[in-house]
Chain A
Amino acid sequence: MILKSIELENFMCYYGYNKFDFKEGINVIIGDNGYGKSKLYDAFYWVMYDECFDTNKKEFVKTSILKNSIVSDKALFEVDDDRVKTSVTLTFDDVEKGSEYSIQRRYFVNKLEDTITPDYVSEEIISWKELSYLNSKIINDPLKIENLKNRILPDNIKPYMWFQGEQIESIIDFNKSQTLTQAINILSDISRFDNISSLADSLQESSAKEYNKKIRSLSKDTSRSEQLEIERKKLIITLKNLEKDELSQQDQQSTAEQKAEALLNKISDAQKIKDVDYRRKSIENDLINIQQEFNKEQIDLHKKLFTNRWVLKGTENIFEEYGKKYNSYEKVKLNKMAEVKAQLEAENAMIKELQTRLPIDVPEPIHVERMLDEEHCLVCDREAPKGSEPWLKMKELIDRSKLRIKNIEDEEITIHDFSNDLKKLYQNGLGLSHNIKRIDDDISKTFTNIQKLSTKRKTLSQDLEKLEKEVESMISESAIDVSEAQNLLSSYQSQNDYAKRFQKELTLTEVSKERTKKQIEIINKELGDLVTGEIPAFLQEKVEILEDFKAIAHSTRERIFKQLVNMLEEEANKHYKEMIQGNLSARGIIKLKELSNKNYMPELVDENGNVLLQLNTGNIILIKLATIMAIISARKGSRDTDLYTLITDAPMSAFGDDYTIGFCKTVSKVYKQSIIMSKEFYKNIELRNELLNNKDIKLGKVYMITPNIPEEERTNRNSLATNIKPLN
């Protein structure tokens, strides 16, 4: 069936009535981020399944939870005390039957003043119209509705036909070993071979039981046979358990190998990022140290004015001048001292002379005092009136006792004696003046060091910037950040260790299995030896035939599965080659590698079969898309790609513009009808023109969607609507 149109009324950002018509070929909805592409994808999904994909929760959410979030804000804002209807209608053309189906889902929200009451559930209306008679009727039968939806898109194909760009990772998840096996199982007849294999298993088991029972019944030693049978049964249980262990170990080993291999793609990048980051950190540390040293030098620069006496720079003359002044001061002082000394010597000489006439204190001062008071000399017994010569002589005797020899130290040379201070100052200055000679060297050395540190700091900053850019570019190329890189390396190591450990366990299990099988064989032989009569030929033949049937059933299943894998691989490569045509640097062949647990995983190899590592996200998405396309298109005779419409939102966002046209060409070849939402053609006008004019692309309808209000006003969604412009 071909999807003719989608009509949206008040659905999310699609305010009012909106319609997109579609044709066979690739239909493209072009719009920038946030313009309503994903909402359109939501609309498709909502009509069919009553749910939308929640990008935050990464899961589909029912209308009953979404409620009025699916209703246009503008419609809800504009209405007063009324009911707002939201509806989406898909119209399908059943060309073969000449009829048309329409699936409508609608949802109502009541608004009374500012109170919004959303309905709990949505309504689904499905109608069928016979085009030749133009009579239309509503389909109510749930079984018919289910059948119709299954015709539009069967559940098992849904994940490969309707998906969003961000879901591609999980559709073909390299970390889930069952992914590809499941896809092959769903999309092929392999389940038929599985059914026949399990029938063969049960038939072989029951015939073996029947045979063993017969053997025991013909035994010449029944009790021994019974005992052997018990032992055999125990051994069979042991063998089955060992087989289970083996499967689980194979699974674990495969998972570990596969995880290690998946990591291997990134391990080289991770190692490089780790190395560069290590260098970055080391430079960062050096830079911190240098910066600290630089800061210290800057602070010390001011301190050194005093600690290293740089403040004295230019004071050489002051010291000289002071020296001179101090010298003249000392001279003056010495002269003055000489003068004072001479005067003292004269005075002292006179004192000495006086003392030589009569010894001091003779007569004793009390007698002299008495003589002066009585004005009478008792020595010569004569009158000595006050003021007379003899009285004055006696007075001199008293005064002479008060006279003493003076020292120069007793004399004041100057009024204030700064001599010592000035001397200290001179001596200090003398010491400092020696330092002045070294100040220039010291300053020069300090500034050279600062300059050196500054240069080193600049170089380290440049190195750091370079390494940071290198890390950033590596991160953006490999999509691994630094912490992830660390984790990847340790995860890679642990996965390899796990794989080795499980390999050892597997070897041990294999040995135990062989030993158990031998023990069973011995028992079987002994049981056979105990048989006395003849085992019926038909039973022997039955056992043999059913054993062969089991072996054939299993090997055929394996053969068919491998054929499917090869077919899938061939088909995936066909699509991959077509998609990478526009990019000369793209290379490689997709190889579906068989894992030790018999699951298959895609990998990219070169022409010599060597695995190509360091795939970027774009490569990986392309491989996945090619595989998804192959799953759908490889099913010979199924015409899945003709029957169902591919609807995908932003599948190309992960790979560059170089692949976009290749992808569109391939999609238009593989799928009869597809609807692609893309932002790649929005900004790149050249690419858009190529899409519209490339004859290799079977083009359906192309639309450009834009919001009706500028980006800066889009936060206010109460006026938001979407403009739809057909481009062809």
Chain B
Amino acid sequence: MTKEELLKIYLSDDIVENKNYLINVPVEKIKWTDNDNSDLISVIKLAIEGDISRESTNVTARKINQLLNREK
């Protein structure tokens, strides 16, 4: 299973749709290389990438925290 397929699986979840994490983009058309519409998508991507590249969960968690700790 490719990382794009995995991403699509996660983004097919009802919560993504109910909370409008994907704005006007159908899940089927999502590409891994697309710009992320939301931090949630970025978080999911980091988690998938971390698992595929078999990096330690601490490293992945740190990357996700760095992403979300940015003051906007």
| Residues on A facing B (Cβ under 8 Å) | 189, 192, 195-196, 198-200, 202-203, 206-207, 536-538, 541-542, 545-546, 548-549, 551-553, 555-556, 559-560
Contacts and interface: CB of A to CB of B under 8 A. Distances in A.
B70 A538 contact: yes
A546 B1 contact: no
Nearest to A195: B51
Contact of A545 (B13, B40, B50): B40
B13 A559 contact: yes
B64 A538 contact: no
A197 to B, nearest CB: 10
B10 interface: yes
Contacts of B71: 536, 538
A557 to B, nearest CB: 10
B45 to A, nearest CB: 11
A interface SS class: helix
B interface SS class: helix
B51 A196 contact: yes
A180 B26 CA distance: 35
A203 B64 contact: yes
Contacts of B64: 203
A445 B39 CA distance: 106
Nearest to A549: B43
Contacts of A196: 10, 47-48, 51
A203 B44 contact: no
**What is the size category of the interface that chain B forms with chain A?**
20 to 34
B21 to A, nearest CB: 8
Contacts of A536: 71
A555 B16 CA distance: 11
Contacts of B15: 548, 551-552, 555
Contacts of B38: 545
Interface string B10-54: 101111100101000000000000000011100110011011000
B19 A538 contact: no
Contacts of A189: 1
B43 A546 contact: yes
A560 B6 CA distance: 11
A549 B40 contact: yes
A551 B72 CA distance: 25
Given A549-B44, A553-B10, A556-B12, 11 more contacts: A192-B51, A200-B47, A203-B43, A206-B65, A542-B68, A545-B40, A552-B10, A552-B44, A555-B15, A559-B9, A560-B9
B13 A555 contact: yes
A-B pairs, 10 with minimum CB distance: A542-B68, A552-B13, A196-B47, A545-B40, A195-B51, A199-B57, A552-B15, A556-B10, A549-B43, A189-B1
A537 B48 CA distance: 26
Contacts of B47: 196, 199-200, 549, 553
Nearest to B9: A556
